[in-house]
Structure 1
């Protein structure tokens, strides 16, 4: 379906976002690591409470809601899959970043979730973790590494992925219920996205 140019109303209680899909088809040159006291720990079978708490701390400001709305059974099936790898970026003894690599589609790796908590934004931890993501993903026999992000995410997300070697290949508009109206996210989350009831 081709949409005409113009503005379109988003119903009250809904949010709209532009989703950008990016990919790479070969391992790019990996930038040098920034200095920092970070470690990356693989979590083999993440406890749901642990996973959701880190997911919330990393993504709440950017309206990461998919896993918050997911049933226990469905979330367990994903993050306990032998083809999904969950990592925590640790700083000062605490998980402060989430990296999820999804190899469930043959020949591909999806960067399912990637981000650091607010206290580490701008510290270089994201670049350091992306370097590890590039090494880990391309250590497997894949032909494509891809990710999607949206306009609710950090304003530098697309540029960061492009600097990491990803190329944009698809754009979509997503409309869904505002998670701040049903309690999935706190009312004061994502102040850059106004609530319209």
Structure 2
């Protein structure tokens, strides 16, 4: 459905975001790593408690909620599936960034989740993680790498992805129940997105 021009009401208890889909269809030029003591490690058969903790610490401020609403069985079925790869950005021995790659569709790689914890934003850690993400994404028989972000995310997310050589190709509106109203996320999360009950 295409929304008409002008304003469209969103019911109380819901959130609405504009989602931008971005892609690249060729390996981008190499970008130098910023200075910093980061490493990326692959997490095979990611423990669910570990994944949920890092997902929350990275994404709660940006209203990442879909995985938080899943049962253990639903979450395990996705993150342990063949073709899914989970990585952590490690800083000082602690996992502070999340990268999830999906290779399940032949010739494609989706950056399903990408982000660093709040204290690392602006330090170069995200650039380091993106450099590793693109190295891995383009390491096989891949013709397309894509990602999506939305207006709940960090205000610099789209520009960051474009600097990384992603090109916008689609825009959508996503409407969902506000995860702060059912206890999925803290009511204090994402103060840049008002709660309307």
Tell me the TM-score normalised to structure 2 length.
Answer: 0.99
Deviations 1:30-60 (A, max 9, x none): 2111000001010001000000000000000
Deviations 1:99-132 (A, max 9, x none): 0110011110000100000010000000000000
Contact 1:62 1:190 in 2 (8 A): yes
Q: Secondary structure at the match of 1:74?
A: helix
Deviations 1:75-99 (A, max 9, x none): 1011112211000000011000000
C-alpha separation between the residues in 1 aligned to 2:11 and 2:3?
18
Match of 1:151? 151
Match of 1:120? 120
Residue 19 of structure 1 pairs with residue 11 of structure 2 = no
Match of 2:194? 194
Structure 2 gaps, min length 5: none
Match of 2:78? 78
Match of 2:55? 55
How many residue pairs get matched?
197
Q: CA RMSD in A?
A: 0.7
Match of 1:102? 102
C-alpha separation between the residues in 1 aligned to 2:106 and 2:2?
31
Match of 1:180? 180
Q: CA deviation at 1:70?
A: 1.2
Q: CA deviation at 1:72?
A: 1.1
Q: CA deviation at 1:4?
A: 1.9
Q: Secondary structure at the match of 2:49?
A: helix
Match of 1:91? 91
C-alpha separation between the residues in 1 aligned to 2:77 and 2:105?
15
Contact 1:30 1:164 in 2 (8 A): no
Q: CA deviation at 1:3?
A: 2.5
Structure 1 gaps, min length 5: none
